[in-house]
Structure 1
Amino acid sequence: MAMVVKLLQPVESDLETLLSDLRNLIGADHPILQAAAEHLFSAGGKRIRPGIVLLLSRALSPTGDLSPRHRRLAEITEMIHTASLVHDDVVDEAATRRGVATVHSRFNHRVAVLAGDFLFAQASWHLANLDNLEVVKLLSRVIMDLADGEVKQGLFRYNTRQSFETYIEKSYCKTASLIANSARAAGVLADLNEEHLVQLYRFGRQLGLAFQVVDDILDFTGSDQQLGKPAASDLVSGYLTAPVLYALEEKPMLADLIEGKFNQGIDLEQALELVRNSEAINRSRTLAEGFAREAHKSIQWLPSSEACNALLALPDFVISRLS
């Protein structure tokens, strides 16, 4: 966490402004929804996604200043991300996130679904008011991808015959699409050429995929406290990630345990041992490192600045979570 704070230091005051602006944007028309939103925005997340948008916006600005439209883009990014977390928590029936009660456990499922919808609607409204059709298309695509990723994840639960491509696609939809498309949107608002827009999108895509693969490794190697949720919770839920898919290639008997949904008391422990005693964790790490290298390479053309240095350090930070 300290490392994240350090990396986001160039936009620390921007992020504080963003949080107070978000509270104002939500408005007081719906007391219960506002209470839910207040709870979400004060839940102490790392704010990496809006932080990336703000860092990119400062790195792309000739004066280093933020335009109001770039600030609003960062706010929309955080709204979309928060809305998706509310819905994810309902689907996963998670009682806490990062040690804080989830919206549906603090209020109820109905309020949580409505609060998520409310935030998506608010994001769409503020997005339309940016008056930039390309940015509207980019961020609308993210909202579609988030829903698509959640559906894909549900459809492939406990399915040991899914392809690695399915896993990458799902990871892109759930994690990388928001970072990739909001990075490109920051470039669009800065009037960049197509070549640089493609590089910004690639930066966000590869960084998001590295982030997801690292999260998936930590599901097997991290502590409950480090994860903000019980370890191995993805596997228990039947979500097959890179370490499991790699382990299945080496340990075919793992498939029986997964397809049986760990119905015997020792099945889960056995499955964890099979994953940990294979090359799966090492192979997953190599995969994440490859994505991180590609992300770093994609933005080396940015002019030197404090914000640029922070962005270039992000891929290494993502991998450092494994040490």
Structure 2
Amino acid sequence: MTSVTTLFSPVEADLCLLADNLKELVGARHKLLYAAAEHLFGAGGKRIRPAIVLLLARATTPDHKISPKHRRLAEITEMIHTASLVHDDVVDESALRRGVPTVHSSFGNRVAILAGDFLFAQSSWYLANLDNLAVVKLLSRVIMDLAEGEMQQGLSRFDPELSFDAYLEKSYYKTASLIANSSKSVGVLSDTAPALTEQLYSYGRSLGLAFQIVDDILDFTGSEEMLGKPVGSDLRSGNLTAPVLYAMEEFSGLAALIEREFSQSGDFEQAVDWVQSSQGIARSRQLAKQYTQQAIESLAGLKPSESRQSLEDISEYNLRRLH
């Protein structure tokens, strides 16, 4: 399968520059934070979010050049994303992320929480210095959405009455909001027509939801080696996702196992078996496909270019992760 990084060829050099800048922006004055920044922004990250920002910047400017404000927006986007991951890993007590030790497992909870806070603070500072109130509002909303999504997930753990709409809303807050609003911010900085700016938002929203749904499918179909965590980890922690919600429509006993938090021997194994035996994974795959198609259609307002093609390819790559 094609590596996602090969899809970033129009902005490959820009992403290398971004990684170096992030380490300097975050940790230059603090040795411990610099060590954490090296850990966070070193090799291994896919950097899909800043890549989307940079590709959209090239696709929306007449000369296909990336302005300093576009570059800073990409850096802010990755800072916000990384800060949310650091905090999520502390809350979830995750020792690994994608098979790599998390910040809190390497440096301790105190440093991890401070590093996450510092990243959010730094992103806010650089955001303010863009001197664009519309973009400040868009990205500030993202930080609110991330917190809202995490709270919603915490409050709905092991709740078999969670609605599908609530699941999609939480998925938007936790994953799609950042991609959607950073994509829209590119349009604002590029001074695109309002209709196209909204289409860029739609691209990011649809792609973000598709990515989350694919991740939720992989929680049941991927290997522990690929996921960097045990299969079914989200379900075991009480996080109910699309495959589980669909499976509950077929297997009425699944709700009871979830409600008692898999407290009896064999509960969790039975729950995973029901999810994998149901149409939940196939239906989730179809839903991800629908959102992917919506994302690609939202790019129709952009002129054909290498960058636009990469944005379409990233959307399709997401679905190929399931094969």
Partner of 1:11: 11
Partner of 1:195: 195
Deviations 1:135-174 (A, max 9, x none): 0000000000001000000000000001111100000000
Partner of 2:163: 163
Aligned counterparts of 2:203 and 2:47: Cα–Cα separation in 1: 18
Please tell me whether residue 260 in structure 1 is matched to residue 260 in structure 2.
yes
Aligned counterparts of 2:228 and 2:318: Cα–Cα separation in 1: 16
Aligned counterparts of 1:206 and 1:132: Cα–Cα separation in 2: 25
Identity of aligned residues (%): 62
Once the two structures are TM-superposed, the CA of residue 29 in structure 1 deviates from its matched residue by 2.2
Aligned counterparts of 1:206 and 1:27: Cα–Cα separation in 2: 34
Q: Name the amino acid aligned to 1:158.
A: F
Aligned counterparts of 1:245 and 1:70: Cα–Cα separation in 2: 39
Give the unaligned 5+ runs of structure 1.
none
Once the two structures are TM-superposed, the CA of residue 265 in structure 1 deviates from its matched residue by 2.7
**1:99-118 equivalent positions in 2, closer than 5 A:** 99-118=99-118
Aligned counterparts of 2:211 and 2:280: Cα–Cα separation in 1: 17
What TM-score results when the alignment is normalised by the length of structure 2?
Answer: 0.98
Secondary structure, aligned partner of 1:8: helix
Aligned counterparts of 1:27 and 1:131: Cα–Cα separation in 2: 24
Give the unaligned 5+ runs of structure 2.
none
Q: Name the amino acid aligned to 2:85.
A: L
What TM-score results when the alignment is normalised by the length of structure 1?
Answer: 0.98
Aligned counterparts of 1:172 and 1:117: Cα–Cα separation in 2: 22
Partner of 1:301: 301
Aligned counterparts of 2:265 and 2:18: Cα–Cα separation in 1: 47
Aligned counterparts of 2:39 and 2:20: Cα–Cα separation in 1: 13
Q: Do 1:43 and 1:100's aligned partners in 2 also have CA atoms closer than 8 Å? A: no
Partner of 1:229: 229
Once the two structures are TM-superposed, the CA of residue 101 in structure 1 deviates from its matched residue by 1.1
Aligned counterparts of 1:225 and 1:175: Cα–Cα separation in 2: 23
Partner of 1:54: 54
**1:270-281 equivalent positions in 2, closer than 5 A:** 270-281=270-281
Aligned counterparts of 2:92 and 2:186: Cα–Cα separation in 1: 32
Once the two structures are TM-superposed, the CA of residue 28 in structure 1 deviates from its matched residue by 2.5
Partner of 1:211: 211
Q: Please provide the CA RMSD for this pair.
A: 1.0
Give the length in aligned residue pairs.
323
The answer to which of 259-268 and 249-258 deviates more is: 259-268
Q: Name the amino acid aligned to 1:249.
A: E
Partner of 1:130: 130
Q: Name the amino acid aligned to 2:286.
A: T
Aligned counterparts of 2:226 and 2:99: Cα–Cα separation in 1: 11
Q: Do 2:99 and 2:227's aligned partners in 1 also have CA atoms closer than 8 Å? A: no
Q: Do 2:27 and 2:33's aligned partners in 1 also have CA atoms closer than 8 Å? A: no
Please tell me whether residue 41 in structure 1 is matched to residue 41 in structure 2.
yes
Q: Do 2:87 and 2:116's aligned partners in 1 also have CA atoms closer than 8 Å? A: yes
Q: Do 2:142 and 2:181's aligned partners in 1 also have CA atoms closer than 8 Å? A: yes
Q: Do 2:100 and 2:228's aligned partners in 1 also have CA atoms closer than 8 Å? A: no
Q: Do 1:77 and 1:182's aligned partners in 2 also have CA atoms closer than 8 Å? A: yes
Q: Residues 105, 279 of structure 1: CA spacing in aligned structure 2 closer, same or farther, 3 A cutoff?
A: same
Deviations 1:228-268 (A, max 9, x none): 22211000000000000011111110011111111223111
The answer to which of 310-319 and 208-217 deviates more is: 310-319
Aligned counterparts of 1:52 and 1:173: Cα–Cα separation in 2: 18
Q: Do 2:56 and 2:186's aligned partners in 1 also have CA atoms closer than 8 Å? A: yes
Once the two structures are TM-superposed, the CA of residue 43 in structure 1 deviates from its matched residue by 4.9
Partner of 1:241: 241
Q: Do 2:69 and 2:130's aligned partners in 1 also have CA atoms closer than 8 Å? A: yes
Q: Do 1:300 and 1:312's aligned partners in 2 also have CA atoms closer than 8 Å? A: no
Please tell me whether residue 287 in structure 1 is matched to residue 270 in structure 2.
no
Q: Do 2:49 and 2:179's aligned partners in 1 also have CA atoms closer than 8 Å? A: yes
Aligned counterparts of 2:104 and 2:237: Cα–Cα separation in 1: 19
Aligned counterparts of 1:95 and 1:43: Cα–Cα separation in 2: 18
Runs of 4+ displaced beyond 4 Å: none
Aligned counterparts of 1:271 and 1:296: Cα–Cα separation in 2: 35
The answer to which of 163-172 and 223-232 deviates more is: 223-232
Please tell me whether residue 70 in structure 1 is matched to residue 70 in structure 2.
yes
